[in-house]
């Protein structure tokens, strides 16, 4: 940010430069609080028959939050298993997710594998988790136990008036 003093003469260029500089800076600063935060669930020894309560976490959206990325990271000692992470409404309804299924799958390798559902593109569906609605992140596997799996919803937060 810069300030061009008038030094005794008020010129159009200096007026424009000063006002332009302040308003541009303020526009940029208005976006500063918009950052991505993580809601995640990690399960060690994820089994194919695990009850859903053991392999999920529920949360009530604390604000209107844009879903940016659904990320699945898996650490395993065997290859070829299919691990899936999903984001749903806890009550089973789909109305607050545009009736879409949000999921990401990965095939395990010996070591770490990861996959992402990227919702940041300018085209396609955009999903906003609504304040006060209870959502669920769930892990599942075709075979287990998977050493460790983590499903992460990367959510955009922003500053609010109240």
Chain contacts with another protein (rule: CB under 8 A): 1, 3, 5-13, 15-16, 18-27, 29-30, 32-33, 35-42, 44, 51, 53-54, 57-63, 68-69, 71, 73, 75, 112, 114, 116, 118, 148, 150, 152, 154, 157-162
**What six digits make up the tokens of 160?**
């609010």
Shortest distance in whole angstroms from residue 14 CB to another protein: 9
**What six digits make up the tokens of 19?**
């006002």
CA distance 69 to 117: 6
Looking at the Cβ atoms of 51 and 99, the one nearer to another protein is 51
Shortest distance in whole angstroms from residue 77 CB to another protein: 14
CA distance 123 to 119: 9
Shortest distance in whole angstroms from residue 51 CB to another protein: 5
Looking at the Cβ atoms of 14 and 142, the one nearer to another protein is 14
Looking at residue 130, the DSSP 8-state letter turns out to be: P
Looking at residue 23, the DSSP 8-state letter turns out to be: H
Sign of the dihedral through C-alpha 26, 30, 31, 33: positive
Looking at the Cβ atoms of 99 and 160, the one nearer to another protein is 160
Shortest distance in whole angstroms from residue 162 CB to another protein: 7
**What six digits make up the tokens of 70?**
């659904």
Looking at the Cβ atoms of 7 and 99, the one nearer to another protein is 7
Shortest distance in whole angstroms from residue 83 CB to another protein: 14
Length of the chain: 162
Looking at the Cβ atoms of 101 and 121, the one nearer to another protein is 121
Residue 119 phi, psi dihedral angles, 5° rounding: -105, 20
Residue 129 phi, psi dihedral angles, 5° rounding: -80, 130
């Amino acid at each position: 940010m810069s300030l061009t003093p008038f030094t005794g003469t008020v010129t159009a260029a200096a007026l424009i430069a000063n006002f332009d500089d302040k308003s541009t800076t303020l526009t940029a600063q208005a976006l500063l609080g918009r950052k991505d935060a993580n809601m995640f669930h990690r399960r060690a020894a994820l089994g194919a028959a695990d009850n859903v309560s053991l392999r999920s976490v529920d949360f009530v959206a604390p604000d209107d939050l844009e879903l940016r990325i659904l990320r699945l990271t898996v650490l395993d000692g065997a290859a070829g298993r299919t691990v899936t992470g999903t984001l749903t409404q806890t009550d089973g309804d789909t109305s607050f997710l545009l009736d879409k299924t949000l999921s990401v799958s990965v095939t395990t390798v010996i070591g770490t594998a990861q996959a992402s559902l990227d919702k940041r593109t300018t085209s396609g569906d955009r999903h906003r988790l609504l304040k006060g609605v209870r959502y669920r992140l769930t892990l599942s596997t075709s075979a287990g136990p998977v050493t460790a799996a983590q499903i992460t919803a990367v959510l955009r937060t922003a500053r609010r008036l109240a």
